[in-house]
Structure 1
C-alpha cells in the first residue's frame, strides 16, 4: 500500500508567541494608565498604519515610507517625533513580519542580510549623531522619493526583458561583494537615521539590479534587515538619546494592535505572489509615494528642480549598475 507524501505544515510558533506576549503586555499597560483618551485622538495614526504596516511586510519599503510623510505633512507631527515613532512601531510590526518569515521558512539571502546589516549599524549611529542635525526633512524626502522612483523605472525596464536572469541567492559571492554590501548598508543606515527607514529599499536596489536577486527573495530579506535596523534605532533614541517623547509614546501605543497583525499579513501575502506581481506592486508603491509627496509637499520651483535632477541622475546611476551587471553575467 502506497501513501502520498503530504507537504510539511510550517507553523510560525515564534510569531504566535510574540503576538500573544505583545497584545497581553499592551493590554496590561493600557489598563494601568489613568487616561487612555489619546487612543481616540490618535485614530488617524492607526488608520495610516493599516496600510503602512502591510506595505512594510510585503515590500522593501518600511512602514515609515507611509507614516513619515503622512504624519509630518498631513497630521503636522514634528519630524523627530515621526522618525522616533517609526523606529518604535516598526520594532513591533517588522519583528512580527520577520518571525513569520522565519517560521514559514521563506527563502532569504543570508549573505545579503549579514553584510548589509553590518554596515547599516555603523551608518545608523553615524547618521543619528552627525547627519540628522544638518538635514532639511522636506528636501531629503523629495530627494529620496525621486531616487526610489528612478529605481522603480529602471527595474520596470529591466523586467520588460524576457531574457532577464534572476537568482535565488547572490551568485559567486566573494570578498568584494561583502565590502560592496557593507558600504551600501552604511549609506542605507544613514538614510534610515533620517526617516526611520531606507536601508531596506536602498540595498534592495543594489541586489535586484546589480546582482539580479529575485524580488521574491530580496523582499523578505530586506524586511529582516529593516527589523534589525529599527530595533537598534528604537533602542538608540529611547535608551541612549532619551528623546522618545510623550507624543511618540501615544502614537506607538495607539498603533501596536494594528501593526502586530497587518505587517505579518503583508509578509504572508508576499509568499503567495509570483515574482512579476511583487515587482508590479513595488512599481505602484514607488509611483504613489512620489505622487503623494508632490501633492502634499507642493514643491517650490527649486524643490522641483531638485527632484528632476535626482530623478535623472538616479536613472543614469541605476542604468549604469544594470549595464555592469549584464557584463558580469555575460
Structure 2
C-alpha cells in the first residue's frame, strides 16, 4: 500500500503544504509520538499484549493498509514518512516492541526508497545534484543502518525509547528555532 500511496502522491496529490509548514508539522508529529510512547511505556513497563502472532484482526490490517498508503503519499512529498507512520502503527496498534518496530521501519523505508528511486529514474525526475547526494549516502546507509539496528536492539527497548525522544526533541528544537 505504501508504494501505491507513493505513486498516487507523486502523480495526483499535490503537496498542499509549504516546505516550512511541512517541516514543522513533521517535527511536531515526531515529537508528539515520542512523548506519547515514552509516557505510555513509563507508566506501564510492559505494554506489550500477549496474543497469537498468527492471528491479526482484519480491521487492524485495514488500518495498517491505510496508514501505509498515507505514509506513501507523505514520502512522495518529502522523501520519508512511511517509516514514521509504520513505526507508530507497530507500537501503538500492534503493541510491538521498539526493537521490532525499528528494524521493521528501516526495512519498509529501504524498500520504498528503492521503489521511489526506480520510479524517479525511469521518469527522468532527478537532477545531477540528486545523483551526487545518492552516491554519497548509499554506502553510509548500506553499512550503518544494519549496524545501528543491531546496536540498538542489543541495548534494548528502553535505550531505543530514550534515543528516539532525544533525537525528536533535538530535531524539533532545530526546526522550531530555524523558523
TM normalised by structure 2 equals 0.89
Match of 1:98 in 2: none
Match of 2:159 in 1: 277
2:33 paired residue among 133, 151, 154: 151
Distance 2:3 2:52 in 1: 22
2:97 paired residue among 214, 225, 238: 214
1:255 paired residue among 128, 137, 140: 137
Match of 2:72 in 1: 189
1:121 aligns with 2:22: no
Distance 1:155 1:133 in 2: 28
Match of 2:150 in 1: 268
Residue 272 of structure 1: SS of its match in structure 2? Answer: helix
User: Structure 2 matches for 1:239-254, cutoff 5 A?
Assistant: 239-240=122-123, 242-254=124-136
State whether residues 152 and 282 of structure 1, in contact with CA within 8 Å, keep that contact through their aligned partners in structure 2. yes
Segments of 5+ residues of structure 1 without an aligned counterpart are 1-118, 299-330
State whether residues 41 and 47 of structure 2, in contact with CA within 8 Å, keep that contact through their aligned partners in structure 1. no
Match of 2:59 in 1: 176
Residue 155 of structure 2: SS of its match in structure 1? Answer: coil
Pairs aligned (count) = 178
User: How far apart are 1:227 and its partner, in Å?
Assistant: 1.3
User: How far apart are 1:168 and its partner, in Å?
Assistant: 8.5
User: How far apart are 1:133 and its partner, in Å?
Assistant: 4.9
User: How far apart are 1:203 and its partner, in Å?
Assistant: 2.2
Distance 2:81 2:120 in 1: 17
User: Structure 2 matches for 1:1-330, cutoff 5 A?
Assistant: 119-167=1-49, 171=53, 172-240=55-123, 242-296=124-178, 298=179
User: How far apart are 1:263 and its partner, in Å?
Assistant: 2.1
User: How far apart are 1:129 and its partner, in Å?
Assistant: 1.6
User: How far apart are 1:167 and its partner, in Å?
Assistant: 4.8
Distance 1:184 1:158 in 2: 21
State whether residues 121 and 186 of structure 1, in contact with CA within 8 Å, keep that contact through their aligned partners in structure 2. yes
State whether residues 200 and 225 of structure 1, in contact with CA within 8 Å, keep that contact through their aligned partners in structure 2. yes
State whether residues 170 and 213 of structure 1, in contact with CA within 8 Å, keep that contact through their aligned partners in structure 2. no
User: How far apart are 1:258 and its partner, in Å?
Assistant: 2.9
User: How far apart are 1:201 and its partner, in Å?
Assistant: 0.9
User: How far apart are 1:174 and its partner, in Å?
Assistant: 1.8
User: How far apart are 1:213 and its partner, in Å?
Assistant: 1.1
Match of 1:99 in 2: none
Match of 1:77 in 2: none
